[in-house]
Amino acid sequence: MFNRRKQIILEAETPENTGLYKPRLIFTEDMLIEKEDEYLFRYHANQLPDLELNQLSVEALQVDLSSSPISIVALFRNTLENSFHIDGLPLLVLDEANRLIGRKVLTTEDIPEFVPMSSMPCWLDFSEEELFLTEEENFPEKIRLLFSLEETHDLEIPPDFLDAEARRVRQTFYSTPTLKNEEVNVMNVWNEKNENRMTGLFLIRNGYEQEIQLGTLPLQLMNGEQILQTLQVALTSPIEAKTTLAIKVVLDVTEWQDQDVLQFRVAQA
């Protein structure tokens, strides 16, 4: 489904002048569309609700797992009266439970130009860094695509993070509302006990306009509500302005190997 082999150029469909518009379906000259897929695109476009003037929307049509890692066929619809470009607009991928499973920043490399008053299919290739599922999870067939207009901080992930750890950090970072100005926040992203090692992932978020130096991160190793150990994690580098820094803490928990429910908690001042 939705292959690109045969070139088809569709005639424009004039929207009705009722205050709502059904953008005409178009294919650009560089698209190679099979005849069967042309009908499918038409069907999906006709099923979608009409838009008001000056709207931009996106609909997921298909997840293509044959590409590496994945490609999503999306239908972009707009009711703007002039052509325009998008460069730097984040696109969020949500599953049926509204969980963030991917994020891609759209640029002119993905879509060089939007034709006014049009519906246009686009094949979006996602890299490993743009997907947040674990290796054990399959990418769902039913997804939603949303534009994100929220400004985000810069995210710094140290090079010693494993790929799975970095994915968890990105998923939490992009799922969490941006920090308010002049606020510092510490979030516990993930805890995992593996034999005699306990690993915790944290996000330290700096909402100030200047860099900050915290010195240490006070943590408690917990078994339920019982405090097993208190520790001070040294933070040797400053956190840049409007930046979120990912921190990984690894602790030898041989002494508590028989405790299955262990977790880190940020100690209260």
**For the segment 44-85, what is each residue's pLDDT rounded down to a tens digit?**
999 999 999 999 999 999 998 887 789 999 999 999 999 999
Q: What pLDDT does 33 receive?
A: 74
Say if CB 191 and CB 263 are below 8 A apart. Answer: yes
Q: What pLDDT does 16 receive?
A: 55
- pLDDT confidence bin for 39, thresholds 50/70/90: confident
Average pLDDT of span 95-103: 96
Of 84, 69, 76, 65, which is closest to residue 31 (Cα–Cα)?
A: 76
CA distance 191 to 223: 12
CA distance 207 to 135: 32
Q: What pLDDT does 269 receive?
A: 63
Q: What pLDDT does 12 receive?
A: 40
Average pLDDT of span 152-164: 94
**For the segment 228-244, what is each residue's pLDDT rounded down to a tens digit?**
999 999 999 899 999 99
Instruction: State which amino acid sits at residue 182.
Output: E
Q: What pLDDT does 258 receive?
A: 83
CA distance 230 to 218: 7
Percentage of residues of the chain with pLDDT beyond 70: 93
Lowest mean pLDDT among 32-41, 139-148, 194-203, 211-220: 32-41
Reply yes or no on whether the pLDDT at 186 is more than 90. Answer: yes
CATH topology of domain 154-266: Immunoglobulin-like (2.60.40)
Q: What pLDDT does 31 receive?
A: 74
Q: Convert 217-247 to b/e letters by CB count within 10 Å (16 or more is b).
A: bebbbbeeeeeeeeeebebeeebbebbbbbb
Average pLDDT of span 101-109: 96
Reply yes or no on whether the pLDDT at 265 is more than 80. Answer: yes
Say if CB 30 and CB 121 are below 8 A apart. Answer: no
Domain ranges of the chain: 24-147, 154-266
Reply yes or no on whether the pLDDT at 226 is more than 70. Answer: yes
